[in-house]
Amino acid sequence: MHDESGRSGAVATHAVVIAGGGPTGSMLAAELALSGVDVAIVERREDQDLASSRAGGLHARTIEVLDQRGVAERFLSQGQTTQIASFAQEIPLDIRDFPTRHNYGLALWQNHIERILAEWVSELAVPTYRGRAVTGFAQDPDGVDVALEGGRSMRAKYLVGCDGGRSLVRKSAGIDFPGWDPSTSYLIGEVAMSEEPAWGLRRDDKGVYGIGKLEDAKGARVVLREEHVRRGDEPTLQDLREALIALYGTDYGLHSAAYVSRFTDMARQAASYRDRRVLLAGDAAHVHSPVGGQGLNTGVQDAVNLGWKLAQVVTGTSPESLLDTYHAERHPVGARVLRTTLALTALNRGDERTLALREMMSGVLRLDEPRKQCAAMMSGLDIHYDFGTGHPLLGRRMPDLDLLTAGGSRRVFTLLHEARPVLLNLGEPGALDIAPWANRVRQLDARYTGMWELPVLGAVAAPTAVLIRPDGHVAWVGDGTDQGLRDALATWFGPPTAP
């Protein structure tokens, strides 16, 4: 694994510096590296093995995103595919009838997700400066001076804060973080006990808590509701012991912990995802309760939305204004996640009134259409960026069709492995002329036989051509003509090259 942890000396210079090597930072680094951008990660943890297991899986759209880059199988081989989408934990949302190759979720703990991403990033030769934390920065018209602990510094054209909910990058940029204060706090940890605990989930009038077995069966993973809201201070083994006694009447002989962490149901979102040459992604841009498993998935998808845009700006292909579309597209997605987790947190309470509401919601979500709408939202398969009116595909994820090309059968997602845009022509071969963008956009003539289907929306009219962005979202849809194509190409992939 490429690791720069021991080095010192001259100031390092990179086109992009990413603060934080968690799932969001690693995914962003991979996206930039695929586009040929000089990117580096600064990570405060000395060792990859210190990654937490707070998040427990990947939703369908995140698996699709990884499939678009050709690495999904690395994750699928390490976890368990299952129907993980649910509403308020007890209301399952089956997506087996959804039109996607990945009509399931993946149960895989965050430490494994981070390890696989870190291995991929290393293969892409991205330097990772471990054991260092960003302590501040100063912007100027040409770049960012990034200060690191220990008196070191770095220089970059852009700095991206992927440094978690307490993001120093966000705070130093002066970006507001409005939202809702916590109503409850939880302890989470991987622990060793000398006695057999009461396995499984429990619910009381304040929320859900429980004890589960670790994969090696030699320890336990605990998620414990605290009696009073606490935040800020680092939790201890004694805090875990007190929480166990309060909830179970015993600590089950708790004697050690691999790690202990605290989270709350606070819900906050950055007012802006960008301040000039500084950007935010993942938990640095939005924090919320982990119920529903949205956080890691939203962060990874932030990275995929931002990566190709930042790459084009860094390389001079597109104007800096392209970065404004990152906030415009992802901020509404984050806002919806916050509202969803507020609702899910409320539904997790165990008092009689909430129980009655949960029973009613369970009945509603057994109906086909409500189930599909909610499942598409939780799985991320319904994300729709507003590119104006037109064909239902516009702004949505491109389906992974089986195409017939001159070179044989191809899946759509395989065309996106290099993180490049694709113009897919399904009409008369050679009918579309994109010569001024030919060095930026891959063009392919193909045929497809079958119905076009989207989650929730169902069947849609088959287009004659589609312009697919590197993140897999459709930027233009052809109806037999090339009307609007040049405008879409210029909007997303820079002005035309002079002949």
Mean local confidence (pLDDT), 463-477: 97
Residue 1 pLDDT level (bands cut at 50, 70, 90): very low
Domain 12-179+268-379 sits in CATH 1.10.30.50: no
pLDDT, one tens digit per residue, over 93-149 is 999 999 999 999 999 999 999 999 999 999 999 999 999 999 999 999 999 999 999
CATH label, 402-493, candidates 3.30.750.24, 3.30.43.10, 3.40.30.120, 3.40.630.10: 3.40.30.120
Residue 52 contacts residue 259 (beta carbons within 8 Å): yes
pLDDT, one tens digit per residue, over 159-207 is 999 999 999 999 999 999 999 999 888 999 899 999 999 999 888 877 7
90 or 399, higher pLDDT:
399
- Helices 60-68 and 295-314 pack at an angle, to 10 degrees, of 30
pLDDT, one tens digit per residue, over 118-129 is 999 999 999 999
Q: Is the pLDDT of residue 89 over 90?
A: no
Residue whose token pair is 């309760």: 289
Give the whole-angstrom CA distance, residue 74 versus residue 129. Answer: 24
Residue 233 pLDDT level (bands cut at 50, 70, 90): confident
DSSP 280: E
pLDDT, one tens digit per residue, over 405-451 is 999 999 999 999 999 999 999 998 888 999 999 999 999 999 998 88
Q: Is the pLDDT of residue 349 over 50?
A: yes
Range among 218-222, 416-420, 478-482 with highest mean pLDDT value: 416-420
Q: Is the pLDDT of residue 90 over 50?
A: yes
Q: In 10 A of CB 391, how many CB atoms?
A: 17
pLDDT, one tens digit per residue, over 31-66 is 999 999 999 999 999 876 655 566 679 999 999 999
Please give the model's pTM, rounded to 2 decimal places: 0.93
Closest CA to 478 of 425, 435, 412, 436: 425
Give the whole-angstrom CA distance, residue 42 versus residue 25. Answer: 9
Closest CA to 63 of 30, 100, 91, 29: 100
349 or 310, higher pLDDT:
310
Domain boundaries, the chain: 12-179+268-379, 184-264, 402-493
- Helices 23-34 and 110-123 pack at an angle, to 10 degrees, of 20
* % of the chain exceeding 70 in pLDDT: 95
pLDDT at 446: 96
Q: Which CATH architecture has domain 184-264?
A: 2-Layer Sandwich (3.30)
